[in-house]
Structure 1
Amino acid sequence: MKRVILLVAFGASSVQGRSALQNFDAMVRERLAGLPVRWAYTSLLLRERLTQARQKSDSVVKALNRLTFERFDEVAVQPLQTVGREHAAVCAAAGEVAAGGGIDCRVGMPLLTTAADVQAVARAIVRHLPEQRNPAEDVVFMGHGARYAAVALYEDLACAVRNLDEHVHIGAMNGATGLEKILSALSSNRVWLMPLLSVVGRHALQDMAGEHKASWRSRIEADGRQCVPVLKGIAEYDGFAEIWLGHLEDLVQSFTMG
């Protein structure tokens, strides 16, 4: 059987973001040597920019159709997502192409899926806190958020992290614990602010660390505290990358098991 890996990311336009994805690509090629690796991007804006730059800019459906044309039999689709509705969209795209026949498309799980994932992500968060941070200083992580049942995963993660370090707080822009609730729990004069996002993009640069009054940085500073943003996506840290890699390895193994 002819098998291939398709990695799916929202995308990144910055040098730092592209470098993070390239590093993950290298990790996948080393861990699953012998399997070709391709990419697809869920951001329409990014795909348009890549097209203008004459670079490969496949959506999930376009990438899968291309792989079908190249006569691959099995596609292991691994999204670099945390949790939420984007994963459902990737599954729908894979199902659409698979329904056409001739190719077996299977989609790996996002970062937060199982109770074991929650504990692993909590350990990765504590492992990758800023080296300059004083243990008594608060650290706030900003995620994108989720809806419905997935919201509980953010709450479970916040609880798991608090059990490891009571000064680390997990929040999200949408559908989960917001910044207002976190502000009331802060106790240190200096607060570290980090993205719970795969790469540094618009959300991290503007919604998290931006200077406009609605950003998380500005709101923490308006609360009378010094805020130190750390502009580094979680895909840049080995602890998080290993969780995605584990899901991908499980996915590839599922083809062998039938």
Structure 2
Amino acid sequence: MPRTLSHFGLRPLLFLLLLLAALSLTGTSHASGEAAPKEGILLVAFGTSVPEAQPAFKAVDAEFKKAFPGAPVVWAYTSQIIRKKLAEQGQPVGGISDGLAQLAKDGVKVVRVQSLHVLAGEEFTALERAVLLDVSKNPGRFESVFMGRPMLESKGDAQELLAAIKADTKSARGKNTALVLMGHGQSHGRADLAFEGVYAVFKSTDKNIHMATVEGARNFDDMLEGLKAAKIKHVVIAPLMLVAGDHARNDLAGDEDDSWATQLKKAGIKVDAHLKGLGETPGAAAILVRHAKESTDDLTKEPRKP
């Protein structure tokens, strides 16, 4: 006769099996139901107090909120002068430390700091240093702090931006109309070579593009010489900057004697202004979003070399 377990012998076995099943379900539920660390975005720009420049910032803000649904999006301006001016107007915007503190208050554990600079010049270097300093002062506050690179880092970035700019200015340009772009630049030369690289990419695609900077090595006179050599008689001027702020409205398209528009007209060139920042140019903000998503540069950890 086969051996069978008695009624009393089954009880401990059934209990053990039920207990193991319960523990297994509990462990599975915890693993699958555990929420991922909350992510947040810190958008960092130099800042502007020009009301007409705000559409660019609003467009960038909307682009990031669409790309990171549910994630807090906080802004920081690096210019103390602009922050003070806005605070006096009752429109305060904090600095980098303020923004990181707000994200921590919001329960964020993974921060993506995205530079809104066009090129990695002096302002971007200061931004990196400020974020690193804040991270070192508040160890363990965040699990990760990723740093997104500026808009133009690679040849692909430049080609993508140029396509966006050309599409946005197409209706204003005729067959022989040149596009004149004003970059910011920096008096000490930072980003000069990067700017030249961008210019080379742009020029290889469209020979009727001419560029110069407000403060960099490639200046207005260099650009005007190029326009005269190409016998250009009509240009569309536009800022190669995130916003169409003070530089765009005064240095580029203003009525002053030293503005680019005035000097171009004196040179016998017809001028039309396209006062639209890159932030509000369709397709341009997508580059910044991509850089934020692709960044693996975690400032809370030592750099790793392959």
Question: Common fold, TM-score beyond 0.5?
Answer: yes
- The one-character-per-residue Cα deviations of 1:90-112 (angstroms, maximum 9, x if unpaired) are 10110011112123332210011
8 Å Cα contact 1:123/1:161 also seen in 2: no
Deviates more, 1:97-106 or 1:165-174: 97-106
8 Å Cα contact 1:144/1:172 also seen in 2: yes
Which of these two proteins has the greater Rg computed from alpha carbons?
2
8 Å Cα contact 2:74/2:103 also seen in 1: no
CA offset at residue 143 of structure 1?
0.5
> 2:97 aligned with 1:97, yes or no?
no
1:56 and 1:242, CA in 2 relative to 1: closer, same or farther beyond 3 A? Answer: same
In the alignment, which residue of structure 1 is the partner of 2:51?
15
Name the % identity: 29
- The one-character-per-residue Cα deviations of 1:210-257 (angstroms, maximum 9, x if unpaired) are 111221112211212122221111111122111111111113x767xx
CA distance in 1, matches of 2:90, 2:52: 20
- The one-character-per-residue Cα deviations of 1:123-157 (angstroms, maximum 9, x if unpaired) are 33323224131121111000001454621221111
8 Å Cα contact 1:20/1:235 also seen in 2: yes
More strand by share: 1
In the alignment, which residue of structure 2 is the partner of 1:145?
185
TM-score, length of structure 1 as denominator length = 0.90
CA distance in 2, matches of 1:127, 1:164: 13
State which of 21, 32, 40 in structure 2 corresponds to 1:4: 40
Unaligned runs of 5+ in 1: none
In the alignment, which residue of structure 2 is the partner of 1:244?
288
Please give the root-mean-square deviation of Cα atoms over the aligned residues, in Å.
2.0
CA distance in 1, matches of 2:40, 2:92: 17
Unaligned runs of 5+ in 2: 1-36, 302-306
> Could you tell me which amino acid in structure 1 is paired with residue 166 of structure 2?
V
In the alignment, which residue of structure 2 is the partner of 1:131?
171
In the alignment, which residue of structure 2 is the partner of 1:25?
61
CA distance in 2, matches of 1:204, 1:27: 23
CA distance in 1, matches of 2:257, 2:51: 27
CA offset at residue 122 of structure 1?
2.8
Q: Give matches, 1:83-122, under 5 Å.
A: 83=119, 84-100=121-137, 101=139, 102-103=141-142, 104-122=144-162
CA distance in 2, matches of 1:85, 1:250: 23
Secondary structure, counterpart of 2:172 in structure 1: coil
CA distance in 1, matches of 2:168, 2:107: 41
8 Å Cα contact 1:80/1:110 also seen in 2: yes
> 2:195 aligned with 1:154, yes or no?
yes
Secondary structure, counterpart of 2:184 in structure 1: strand
CA offset at residue 161 of structure 1?
1.3
